[in-house]
Amino acid sequence: MKLCYTLILIFTEILIALTIFRVFYVKNGNLALSQKILDLLIVGFFTIFPNIFIAHLTSEFMATIFFSWYFCFIDILLFLLFYFSVEYAFPDASASRRWYKAFYIFFRYDVPALFQGKKQRTTLFEKSMLVLFLLIVADIAQFVLNISSHAVFSVESFYSEGVVFAPNIYYRIVSYFPYDVHLSLSYALVLLTLICLVKKTILSPALYRIKYLASLILILIVVIVNSFYVLFELPLDFSVILYGLVCVSIYYFSFNYIPKYLQRKSIGCVIENMDNGILIFDIDDRCIFINDCIRKLCEVRADQDPEIAMRSFVNKFVNGQSFSTRAPYEVIRCLKIKERTVYYRVIFSRIEDEYEKFLGSYFLLMDISEERNRERQEHFRSSHDQLTGLYNKEYFCNKVAEALEANPDKEYCIVCSDIGNFKLINEIYGVAIGDKILKLIALNLREKAVPGELYGRIDNDRFAMLVPKERLDVQALIDITDSIFKYSLDLTMMTVCYFGVYEIKDIDVRVSFMCDRAFIALNTIKGQIGKQVAWYDATLRDDVLREQELIYQLSDAIAAGQIKIYLQSRALADGTPVGAEALVRWDHPDEGLISPNGFVPLFEKNGMIIKIDCCVWRLVFKKLAEWKNAGREDLYICVNVSYKDFYLMDIQQELGSLLNEFKINPKNFHIKITEFTMMMDLDKQIKSIKQLRELGFIIEVGDFGTNYSSLKILRECDIEILKLDISFLIDTKFSRNAHIIMKQLVEMAHSLGTKIVVKGIEQKEQVDLLSTYGCDLFQGYYFSKPIEASMFEKVYL
């Protein structure tokens, strides 16, 4: 029996030594805990070691030495077990440092800091452990002294007969009071350890209780066995063996089994409850696991065999092919589930061991329906107009280019549309009505669309269409838009839609250029009554090229003096000249003399009119300065001001600067502003007129009476001259009404201190008639055509 007992102890020591070796050389993520288990194993080794000899001793003295050795290391073992349990159960508590490091810090830093009033580095727990350790040191000291004093215990030989596993002769201790103190300290440490583990076991979730329950049960077994040894004075203390096995078991459960068990359970919970579906198959392609997501997806009951329930479902992805022969892949599949379309990303992968041997396989199904819907929505937002749902400009151009490339032999036309007075509709009726018009047009285009036709909203109220030439029916488009304006909306304003058509001859031309050409054609008829369709052709192309050439040449023309002023006289009824109106001409080196209609509208449209106007003003100021030097300050010159001059430059500063430069009388420089110009922003223009009058300039209003703002202009501004057109009397069926209005208008103007100029006079009878009405000044071919300034001077100066 002695040999059997000894072999068990030696085996236990070897097991502890191997465990120490593993802990020492295998890195562990929980460094603080692994260090404490290493301390525990080393002390456990030396706790068991003396018992190997106790069973074979024949000397009471040696028995006393080895028993003392055993009791000393039991104290240290229980102390370290408690220290380990605190770190194991409450890693964030205060046991992160090894105990001897904590004691070193306390004596090295905290004791001096106590007298200096500085912050302590060790925690209250570590200070409490220091007190326990000092008690243990005292207990160890009494066991060391007991070798000679026998004050704690003594040993006596004992003969056992018929006791299983017991040697025939062994030594046992005869305890005294100090030994009872030792037992009390030992059981107190055990009790603290149990309390720590019990508390953590109660507080932990059910899944994690095994982590602490395993250590708790092992320690309780040791306590029970040791209690039997103490209470019943058994011949052998089997708890000695258990101490070592407990240390090894705690290491195994703490760092191997329980972490892996919890890992498996956690992974299982994650897989079971994950939003993605997973199916796992064994080496024979049998389905051995499906999670809740798959059960809900395929309506599999808990009592159904997943192999039977899922076979037809899986065949959708593998077509009966063996999993072991398939390589990993990923596909996106659309599944019909309960009349609902669901998109899944299906991932198939093999399960292999470290030697790449096939162990099984699995499918992962990820629901990407929201992702696909979001992608479709983002694609729609990036490619479609949000208001109408038609293609936006960029996507329309791309789709047209694709259609032309796919059908190079087919004839197509680009048709672009623009709503007349759309900005005015928004201002009068509101943006909601404007949006309704755009949506109705888009709705009708979609309803009439057939394969091969493409529609898009290019910008604001502009639409574009790609239509096969044989299907092009512009009149149908006109009818659609006219019906919308007439019947779908309650608009009192007359509104029409204009169309420009570009026939595609070269598919290599950029689609945006094709649309531009269709809009160029459209712009030639926009605003014209009775015309709603225009085709882009060679003549129109030449006109566009000519306009581009004029734009390019303008700066050089101004620098070269090609921009000239022609003067048309203004006279009294008897023909006496009082001034002239400056009219611009372009003396082009290639095209000859270009009238204002040949270039002014172009430059008004692109804003370059300010360059021409500034050039004309300077020429007029220069001419007035020459007349002043010639003693003819009695004559004035009237110049035109474009409405864009007020927006694109500081007109007051420009004219004021010229006035300071040429030193003329500002009353000789008349500024003519058309009533249309005033209409653009009446309040702003009234303010500008007042500022110009403060500089001394004479203000004329041309085309008076053609718009709604006439009376407000007269009310708010001191206008010196109103300019009327003789056509007011001629171009009407109601000549009596026109003559009455003319008489009253002249009388009203004279009451306001305003003179009347009538242009377009071609006959003496017109002069005589208007003179009887009280008109002051006259301008027209009857007196003089616009002539060069030098010729004007020869005739009138």
Residue 552 identity: Y
Q: What share of the chain is helix, strand, coil (3-state, %, to 5)?
A: 55, 20, 25
Residue 59 predicted with pLDDT over 50: yes
Token pair belonging to 468? 């096969």
Pairwise CA distance, residues 43 & 80, whole Å = 9
Pairwise CA distance, residues 134 & 115, whole Å = 22
3-class DSSP assignment, residue 731? coil
Which pLDDT score, from 0 to 100, does residue 788 have?
Answer: 92
Which pLDDT score, from 0 to 100, does residue 501 have?
Answer: 93
Pairwise CA distance, residues 418 & 421, whole Å = 9
- 108 CB contacts (<8 Å, ≥6 apart)? none
Q: What mean pLDDT value characterizes the chain?
A: 83
Rounded mean pLDDT, 69-81: 88
Residue 188 predicted with pLDDT over 80: yes
Pairwise CA distance, residues 81 & 37, whole Å = 8
Pairwise CA distance, residues 323 & 273, whole Å = 25
For 34, counting Cβ atoms within 10 Å of its Cβ (0-12 exposed, 13-18 middle, 19+ buried), the class is middle
**Residue % of the chain over a pLDDT of 70:** 91
**Cα distances (Å, whole numbers) of residue 64 to 86, 234, 375:** 34, 18, 84
Residue 303 identity: D
Token pair belonging to 756? 């009347």
Write the DSSP assignment of 314-363 as a string of letters.
Answer: HHHHHTT--GGGPPPEEEEEEEEETTEEEEEEEEEEEEE-TT--EEEEEE
Pairwise CA distance, residues 652 & 658, whole Å = 10
Which pLDDT score, from 0 to 100, does residue 306 have?
Answer: 79
Is the alpha carbon torsion for 748, 754, 758, 763 positive or negative? positive
pTM above 0.75, yes or no: no
Cα 49 to its chain centre, rounded Å, is 70
For 381, counting Cβ atoms within 10 Å of its Cβ (0-12 exposed, 13-18 middle, 19+ buried), the class is exposed
Rounded mean pLDDT, 276-297: 83
| Beta-strand pair 669-674/636-641 | parallel
Write the DSSP assignment of 606-624 as a string of letters.
Answer: HTTHHHHHHHHHHHHHHHH
Which pLDDT score, from 0 to 100, does residue 138 have?
Answer: 93
Quickly tell me which residue has 């007042």 as its tokens: 690
Largest CA distance in the chain: 165
Model confidence at 167, pLDDT cuts 50, 70, 90, reads: very low
Cα 575 to its chain centre, rounded Å, is 75
**How many CB atoms within 10 Å of residue 719?**
21
Token pair belonging to 258? 């329980």
**Cα distances (Å, whole numbers) of residue 290 to 279, 363, 711:** 5, 10, 86
Of 319, 294, 296, 293, whose CA–CA distance to 307 is shortest?
Answer: 294
Note the pLDDT tens digit of each residue in 237-266. Answer: 667 777 777 777 777 777 777 777 777 777
3-class DSSP assignment, residue 586? strand
Which pLDDT score, from 0 to 100, does residue 320 have?
Answer: 66
Under 8 Å between Cβ of 678 and 630: no
Pairwise CA distance, residues 760 & 233, whole Å = 142
Residue 118 predicted with pLDDT over 70: yes
Write the DSSP assignment of 222-254 as a string of letters.
Answer: HHHHHHHHHHHT-SS-THHHHHHHHHHHHHHII
Residue 186 identity: S
Of 425, 490, 491, 428, whose CA–CA distance to 461 is shortest?
Answer: 425
Model confidence at 654, pLDDT cuts 50, 70, 90, reads: very high
- Residues pairing with 779 in the sheet: 759
Angle at 502 between CA 497 and CA 508, to 5 degrees: 140
Rounded mean pLDDT, 148-176: 71
3-class DSSP assignment, residue 783? coil
Model confidence at 115, pLDDT cuts 50, 70, 90, reads: confident
- For residues 548, 550, 556 and 560, what is the CA-based torsion angle, rounded to 10 degrees? 170
Of 21, 1, 282, 50, whose CA–CA distance to 167 is shortest?
Answer: 1
Under 8 Å between Cβ of 673 and 641: yes
**Mean pLDDT lowest among 102-111, 209-218, 640-649, 703-712:** 703-712
- Greater pLDDT, 168 or 174: 174
Under 8 Å between Cβ of 473 and 414: no
Is the alpha carbon torsion for 554, 557, 562, 567 positive or negative? positive
Residue 162 predicted with pLDDT over 50: no
Is the alpha carbon torsion for 513, 514, 516, 521 positive or negative? positive
Model confidence at 503, pLDDT cuts 50, 70, 90, reads: very high
- For residues 144, 146, 149 and 151, what is the CA-based torsion angle, rounded to 10 degrees? 140
Is the alpha carbon torsion for 386, 390, 395, 396 positive or negative? negative
Note the pLDDT tens digit of each residue in 307-342. Answer: 777 777 777 766 667 787 788 888 887 777 666 778
Of 514, 541, 520, 521, whose CA–CA distance to 401 is shortest?
Answer: 514
Which pLDDT score, from 0 to 100, does residue 724 have?
Answer: 87
Token pair belonging to 643? 């409405």
Residue 202 predicted with pLDDT over 80: yes
Rounded mean pLDDT, 770-788: 92
Note the pLDDT tens digit of each residue in 136-151. Answer: 999 999 999 998 888 9
Quickly tell me which residue has 């026998």 as its tokens: 150
Residue 770 predicted with pLDDT over 70: yes
Of 244, 6, 73, 50, whose CA–CA distance to 155 is shortest?
Answer: 50
**Cα distances (Å, whole numbers) of residue 169 to 50, 237, 400:** 17, 15, 108
